[in-house]
Chain A
Amino acid sequence: GAVVSQHPSWVICKSGTSVKIECRSLDFQATTMFWYRQFPKQSLMLMATSNEGSKATYEQGVEKDKFLINHASLTLSTLTVTSAHPEDSSFYICSARFDRVQPQHFGDGTRLSIL
C-alpha cells in the first residue's frame, strides 16, 4: 500500500526556535500533500494544501508566515514552524495523494512540544 513517512515523530524545543517537519511519500509520487493539525482528543484540522512546484494554499486563520510549507519534489514536503511558541505545541500530520481521485494517505504525525 501507499506509505507516507513523517520525520521526526517527536520534537521538543525551546520557545523562539524554528522546527522543520518532513513528509515523504515512499512508494508513490504525490502531486498533492496536505498538512493537518490535531489537538488532544480533537479532530484533524486542515492547515494547508500544497501542490508540487506551487505555493501552498493556506486555510483561513492559518498564518502562512509562521507555518512555511515547501513542496519542492513529488515525494517531499516540509512544514517549518517559525519562531515557535508554546501555543504551537500540537500533533502535526501530513498526508499525500497521487491524484485527485485517489485517497489521501497519512503519515504517523509529529508531536511538537514547545517549552
Chain B
Amino acid sequence: QQQVKQSPQSLIVQKGGISIINCAYENTAFDYFPWYQQFPGKGPALLIAIRPDVSEKKEGRFTISFNKSAKQFSLHIMDSQPGDSATYFCAVSSGSRLTFGEGTQLTVNP
C-alpha cells in the first residue's frame, strides 16, 4: 500500500518560473511532512517541513502548502533557478519512520 503519492514525476520550468510539486497521503496519523532535495550522487537534504497544525510555511523561495482535510501538501518554488534542478521527495512521518514519495525530477531551463 502506497502511503504517499507524488506528482508530477518530472517537471520542466523556465528560469524565474514557479515550480509546484504535489503529494497526497492516506494515513491521518502522520504528523510531520518534510520535503527533501537530492542532487545526483548525493544524499537527500532537508529543504522545508511542516506539521499539520499550520496550513502554510515559507522559507525563502520555498513554500509548503498543507491541506489537512484533503490530505494533500505541496511544495512551491518561487523564482526557480537552474541550480534548483534536482530530484525532490516529499515524505510523511508519524513518530519514527519516514516514508518517501516517488520523487519529482525538476529541470529549470536557463
Question: Using a CB–CB distance below 8 Å, which chain A residues touch chain B?
Answer: 4, 6, 32, 34, 41-44, 46, 49, 93, 95, 100, 103-109, 111
Contact = CB atoms under 8 A, between A and B. Distances in A.
A107 B89 CA distance: 16
Contacts, number: 46
B80 to A, nearest CB: 21
Contact of B43 (A42, A93, A103): A93
Contacts of A95: 43
Contact of A106 (B41, B44, B103): B44
Interface stretch (B14-22, B71-79, B94-102): B94-102
A109 B43 contact: yes
Nearest to A51: B96
B12 interface: no
B98 A42 contact: no
- Main secondary structure, interface of B, reads strand
A91 to B, nearest CB: 8
Interface in B24-68: 34, 36, 41-46, 49
Most chain A beta carbons < 10 A, residue from B42, B44, B105: B44
A32 B46 CA distance: 17
Given A44-B44, A93-B43, A111-B41, A100 B103 contact: no
Contacts of A108: 41-43
Contact of B103 (A32, A42, A93): A42
Contacts of A6: 43
B42 A109 contact: yes
A49 B96 contact: yes
Contacts of A42: 102-103
24 contacts: A34-B98, A41-B103, A41-B105, A42-B102, A42-B103, A43-B89, A43-B100, A43-B102, A43-B103, A44-B89, A44-B100, A49-B96, A49-B97, A93-B43, A95-B43, A103-B46, A103-B49, A104-B98, A105-B46, A106-B45, A106-B46, A107-B43, A108-B42, A109-B43
